[in-house]
Homo-oligomer: A and B are copies of this chain.
């Protein structure tokens, strides 16, 4: 891999050839003619140049997206999409803004008129919709109930309505909380016309953007909204992440529990049927949750920031 070449003339020759080939883009045959060598010799020198590290190839671009890291993350985790925003930012609100922009760009690029878009409630998803400036005309389906927190003004309904308006497509939205105290109430809510209507469209959703929380205090809006008993029960069942109301353990298996019945949201099976499910995680604390979500296969697209991306890659090693 690194035995570097021989004498200085050899080195300079190799460098000249590498320049001609890689920088000037000439063919090996042309180079061979120019230097009076056989094309085989040229090919061998080029191999040598690469394997000895004499030629270094970097992939970079001026924007905020770290393409190389994105590509590596995508490949390493087997994702359909990965966008890594290169920022040292740590403030959650500022991060949401940057990731929201990247996710919005991604969404407007990949959503076509044939799609049906599903949106779950999450602050990051809200941040994305706020940055969205154009979108193919598609139906927009609300995937989860809303959580209203004192520190968050937007709610899931606004999010869906706003996106549908921008797109010009139909909106399937409803007013209901994400989690209710008991299964019976949840069942009753699901019977509500608007809710039932939205749910009936879950099967046709082709692309979705979901929230992704680590199952711990301050790492999941759902965790923070739920009673301690239920949280603990799920913890005991091995839950490490919630994907907009779908609980998964470290192996990526969806966890069913009584709590599941109290959630007004798309279920694991329905989510699994969606072609592209994108999450926008940030913060190093979410490493485990992201891994679980990706393992589950439910989430196959990520928009995140470089520190988390690096942590994910490191863990893989």
User: Which residue on chain B has the smallest CB distance to residue A14?
Assistant: B67
Bitwise interface map of A from 174 to 210 toward B, beta carbon under 8 Å scored 1, else 0:
0000000000000000000000000000000000000
Bitwise interface map of A from 62 to 100 toward B, beta carbon under 8 Å scored 1, else 0:
110101101110110000011100000000000000000
Pair A11/B67 contact, Cβ less than 8 Å = yes
Query: Apart from A49-B59, A56-B59, what 18 extra A-B contacts exist at CB < 8 Å?
Result: A7-B106, A8-B83, A11-B61, A11-B65, A11-B67, A12-B65, A15-B59, A15-B68, A16-B75, A19-B59, A19-B71, A19-B75, A23-B57, A23-B59, A54-B59, A54-B61, A54-B67, A55-B58
State whether A12 and B109 are in contact (beta carbons under 8 Å apart), knowing that A56-B58, A57-B55, A61-B54 are contacts in the complex.
no
Give chain A's interface residues, CB within 8 Å of chain B.
4, 6-12, 14-16, 18-19, 22-23, 25, 49-50, 52-63, 65, 67-68, 70-72, 74-75, 81-83, 102, 105-106, 108-110
* Cα(A70)–Cα(B12), bound, Å: 6
CB contacts (< 8 Å) of A49 on chain B: these are 59
Q: Looking at the assembled complex, report how far the CB atom of A40 sits from the nearest CB atom of chain B, in whole angstroms.
A: 17
User: Which residue on chain B has the smallest CB distance to residue A64?
Assistant: B8
Q: List 5 A-B contacts (CB under 8 A).
A: A7-B106, A8-B109, A10-B109, A11-B63, A12-B81
Pair A18/B59 contact, Cβ less than 8 Å = yes
User: Which residue on chain B has the smallest CB distance to residue A108?
Assistant: B7
Q: Looking at the assembled complex, report how far the CB atom of A73 sits from the nearest CB atom of chain B, in whole angstroms.
A: 9
* Cα(A61)–Cα(B70), bound, Å: 28
User: Which residue on chain B has the smallest CB distance to residue A58?
Assistant: B56
* Cα(A105)–Cα(B5), bound, Å: 13
